[in-house]
Chains A and B, each alone.
Chain A
Amino acid sequence: MTHEQIQKQLSAWLDGELDSAASSEVSSHLASCAACEGEAARLRRLGTVLFRAAAPADPRSTESFVARVMSRVESESVAPWERFAARILAPAFAVALAGLLLTISLPREDADAPLGVAMSIDTESVLGVAP
């Protein structure tokens, strides 16, 4: 390999991804070429820096992650009309029911009279006696 070809192989050589023949050729060249040995050293240091900068594992447990994923899977499994019913119809129904209950429970103006009817009773004619 030429000097330039060796330089192009340095990255793969450091990763241990060259076949044995190519790897030997690179190793031999590095033993006598300060420029390429210097470049290999820089690439090695770059790898160290990148590895050390790798983010640590997320401390939150796997189980809570599983729960979050499955919650999203479940919501995706709900049919669109069911989502509509849950989001729009149910709250609308609840408001309507609350309004009806409120109307029924409101106190009437004439508390003693049957709802909506005003009656006067002729007590004497019913009972035969004066009140």
Chain B
Amino acid sequence: MDKPVTADGELARRASKGDDGAFAELVRRHAPRVRALCKATLGGPGEAEDAAQESFLKAHRALGRFTGEASFATWLHRIAVNHCLDILRAAVRRRSDSLDAMLEADASALGRALAEPSSAQALEDRDTIARLLSRLPPEQRLALTLREMEGLSYEEIAVSMSCSVDSVKARLRRARAELLEMARHFVGPDIV
């Protein structure tokens, strides 16, 4: 007979009372999704891994405030999203001149990929995409990542980012328009 699976809420309750085994099980269940989110949002493997670990640590510290009103998965996802947003905002403040110097090359590469998405030279350089995404305001970048790379619905993105569905809609529209405009600027409106 299979061992019954303990619900996340019960594990969170036990973990809040010091049961490290319960928290380890929560980490085990939700690590793939949190790690994928951080990787898709932040790009760099070291930074993403550290962000994923830190997200779980923040959740551990905040266990006493988990009320069960939202599911543990949603609550944890919101913590991870906010942590990634903090990192993105700090990165915007630190952005280097070398990143600006690469804009033309990156935007041109995107433009060519959009013109011929099925060609062998279709854009596969994740670093190029990551650099272009880093030019977007953090909230737009995060919304686009959650939509295109995690496949979340607008409602789910709104919950994760603690904003309205209309805000999600606007952020996605502006993020996509910005990327297309970057590509058009360097390869020409006839191509893209």
Interface residues of B in 97-154 (CB under 8 A from A): 110, 113-114, 117, 122-126, 128-130, 144, 147-149, 153-154
Q: How many residues of A contact B (CB 8 A)?
A: 32
Q: How many residues of B contact A (CB 8 A)?
A: 46
Interface residues of A in 35-89 (CB under 8 A from B): 42-43, 45-55, 57-58, 62-63, 65-66, 68-70, 72-74, 76-77
A66 contacts B20, CB within 8 Å? no
A62–B57 CA distance with the chains assembled, in angstroms: 16
Interface residues of A in 93-115 (CB under 8 A from B): none
Classify the secondary structure of B's interface with A. Answer: helix
B114 contact from A46, A69, A73, Cβ within 8 A: A46
Rounded to whole Å, the gap between the CB of A59 and the closest CB of chain B is 10
Binding site for A on B (CB under 8 A): 20, 23-24, 27-28, 31-32, 35-36, 39-40, 43, 45, 48-49, 52-53, 56-57, 60-61, 110, 113-114, 117, 122-126, 128-130, 144, 147-149, 153-154, 169, 172-173, 176, 179-180, 192
